[in-house]
A and B are shown apart, each in its own frame.
Chain A
């Protein structure tokens, strides 16, 4: 029958046939199913902990660590990688602690390459591991001291799945134990820590701002220091406070909460803080100033071969607490001005404490070098190679603080 048909009609049908076949083939290829993975087929990783391989392993856990282990063709067993996994359907009774329910589980393995360990961990999971929702990465001090920061964070920086806002923390103890911690609220510890660190604007004792994966990448590229928030666990208590400073991937040292607060005043990133000082007429009694806003200007000055910095700070806030009682009648202007001067003096002391801590550690943990590079590039070219070791520890800082007390509280 087809033979009897007009060749033009046949050509038309051929064209249509080819067109239909093409549509079907292209639709099958481009149907968008390549990356399809249903929500229930994913195992969300909420937090990552990285320890030294044998760190924190008790004698009774040796059998467990043997099972967690795998044959490694290259390298050594340097690190123990632990992942906190979210259970979308909580298993009955397995995670019900006394202080609240958490629907998470923890898996670990040891090795050297992070990606190789992640591959091995699939043997402990029934679903594909999903890293897009990682909230926190906790690294133990021992792991960093063992081989530096670079081998640990390289995977985090290369991965397209890990978000750049993921917080990176350091602990002097075991990192895995931090993931095992069950917060009173019942939420997973990875989320609890990330949320707690997110309050860095209100909590001057944690660095927050410069401690995520993106900041580590930027600091690494600019050959600057890396700041990591410190987290510690003792029994059933977890605490964020202070920070660690790293340079060239090595841990330089920890700084306390007071220095962390001073560093945030220096960088101008603090939005809320309590500044305390002793009442001059009542030794042992404390007055607290509640900071609401501040503006910071740090300017480098060069005179000949001498470099120094001028720091101007303007602060506004309220009197939050005054244990001195009636000795300061705060309604009167001259008394208010006296209090403002005392607050300014306390801020200045805090900043210089932080500044001298950095100088003693021989690391520019704030933005002094960056400011010099930006505003005095010719001088920076002269000193950049010996900045941290020789120049920064000797430069003077002139601090000027102007405080305005706007309110004295609901009751005087």
Chain B
């Protein structure tokens, strides 16, 4: 196949869109229950705390990537951490995407079979989605980028519009009391919102396509806009869930973000069971997140093993992803994997990245001293 869609550059706005689209995925439906269970009425504050925390992590990643303009994290990590250390860090980087992808496949399979196709085994739904996502991930970045831009305009607007209909049942008093809140729970839940914001790590792979287009400050500002939008969307969903269902009811529901729309009665229309419409609008959103993450996994493997094509790696990973997703059918196991992934994500963002920055500065200072 001729490589007509190879991409050697992209604009900062395109990077901002990619971050937004990759972050707003399946977890927007799967995560709110655990967040509200922990932070209760302060869940909205946790979302804001999470937004600030992970934006600071992205800023560090941008700064690090600017130090190595023509390389991705996969290429310069071995130089920073040594061959073995670098391999571990790159493995961790890929593991992040892998665990997210299998959780998303498993969660989506369960939701769709439970609410839409109850006779269909989740394995079949996962397989169908995997085939479609793999087809997309096998394309080059130009095609995936175009798809993400298209989804950004179409799928998200439909999803938000359907979600907003739950405002008809919104009771502002359910949000109260805003004070006093459990500060400790709010901050710890802020960290656990990583599941919602995760996906921003892709900047470490995409920066070589962008760095020539803008300065670090403008990148930080534009990605800040992307994170602002993410925070607003996550905050809106959390507030709507609590405002419609109350904190106590949201705790007892497996997918409150979906059920929030179940009691909506649109006056004067024949449309019923709005949760199915929400699911239909959500599937494209899940698809583009998964396709991008599978592409990133293939790209990391390709760069690490110094191959020319990411496609064999995507195909190689397919059975591993499928089997792992299918084995994640137990809710307790799912919760454990989710917690483990969050810890890896936090370790990567607030352990590996700051350490990389420090090592990078040290190496550059050393190099400067030896030149003198």
A371 at the interface (CB under 8 A from B): yes
Cβ contact within 8 Å between B117 and A222: no
Q: Provided the pairs A221-B246, A222-B246 are in contact, do residues A30 and B128 lie with their beta carbons within 8 angstroms?
A: yes
Q: Residues of A contacting B180 with CB < 8 Å?
A: 377-378
Known: A34-B120, A214-B262. A375 touches B176 (CB 8 A): yes
Q: CB-CB < 8 A to A374: which residues of B?
A: 173, 176-177
Are A29 and B120 in touch, CB under 8 angstroms?
Answer: no
Query: Is A163 in the interface zone, CB < 8 Å from B?
Result: yes
Quick one: which of A131-149 are within 8 Å of B by CB?
A: 132
Q: Confirm or deny: A165 has a beta carbon within 8 angstroms of a beta carbon on chain B.
A: yes
Q: Which of A11-64 contact B (CB under 8 A)?
A: 26, 29-30, 34-35
Looking at B26-34, B142-150, B228-236, B247-255, the stretch in contact with chain A turns out to be B247-255
Name the distance in Å between A24's Cβ and chain B's nearest Cβ: 13
Given A30-B128, A34-B117, A221:B252 Cβ within 8 A:
yes
- Given A35-B119, A163-B272, A373-B177, A222–B249 Cβ distance below 8 Å? yes
Give min CB distance, A166 to chain B, whole Å: 10
Does B127 sit at the interface, judged by CB under 8 A? yes
Assembled-state Cα–Cα distance A166/B249 (Å): 18
Q: Are A370 and B117 also in contact (CB < 8 A) when A34-B124, A222-B248 are? A: no
Q: Contacts of A132 on B, CB cut-off 8 Å?
A: 273
Interface residue A290 (Cβ < 8 Å from any Cβ of B): no
For the complex of A and B, 7 pairs with smallest distance between CB atoms:
A374-B176, A34-B120, A377-B177, A214-B263, A221-B249, A35-B117, A221-B248
Nearest residue, chain A, Cβ from B272 = A163
Contact yes or no, B119 A212, CB < 8 A? no
In the complex, what residues of B have CB within 8 A of residue A306's CB? none
What's the nearest-Cβ distance from chain A to residue B23, in Å? 28
- The reply to whether the CB of B118 lies closer than 8 angstroms to some CB of chain A is yes
Q: Is the CB of A212 within 8 A of B273?
A: no
Instruction: State the CA gap A29–B262 with chains docked (Å).
Output: 31
Given contacts A30-B127, A218-B249, A375-B177, contact A165 B263 (CB under 8 A): yes
Instruction: Give A20 to B252 CA distance when docked, in angstroms.
Output: 47
Whole-angstrom distance from the CB of B286 to the nearest CB of chain A? 16
Would you call A30 and B131 a contact (CB within 8 A)? yes
Inter-chain contact B124/A26, CB cutoff 8 Å: no
User: Shortest beta-carbon distance, B46 to chain A, in Å?
Assistant: 18
Docked complex Cα distance between A374 and B246 (Å): 12
CB of B265 within 8 A of CB of A165, answer yes
Which of chain B's residues 101-137 have a Cβ closer than 8 Å to chain A? 114-121, 124, 127-128, 131
Which residues from chain B contact A165 at a C-beta distance below 8 Å? 263, 265, 272
Q: Name which residue of chain B comes closest to A198, CB basis.
A: B265
Q: Which residues of A contact B124 (CB under 8 A)?
A: 29-30, 34
Q: Which residues of chain B from 241 to 274 have any CB-CB distance to chain A below 8 Å in the complex?
A: 245-246, 248-249, 251-252, 259, 262-263, 265, 272-273
Closest to A133 in B: B272
Contact A160 B177 (CB under 8 A): no
Using A222-B248, A223-B248, A375-B177 as known contacts, list a sample of 12 further A-B pairs with CB atoms less than 8 Å apart, ordered by residue number in A.
A26-B131, A29-B127, A35-B117, A35-B120, A160-B115, A163-B272, A165-B265, A214-B263, A218-B246, A221-B248, A221-B249, A373-B176
Judged by a CB distance under 8 angstroms, whether A164 is at the interface is: yes
A177 sits at the interface (CB 8 A)? no
Tell me if A217 counts as interface (CB < 8 A to partner B): yes
Q: Determine which of B114, B120, B249 lies in contact with A160 in the assembled complex, contact meaning CB atoms within 8 Å.
A: B114
Of listed B131, B251, B262, residue having the most chain A CB within 10 A? B262
A29 vs B248: C-alpha distance when bound (angstroms): 41
A160 contacts across to B, CB distance below 8 A: 114-115, 118
Highest count of chain B CB atoms <10 Å: which of A164, A373, A375: A164
**Nearest CB of chain B from residue A168's CB, rounded to whole Å:** 13
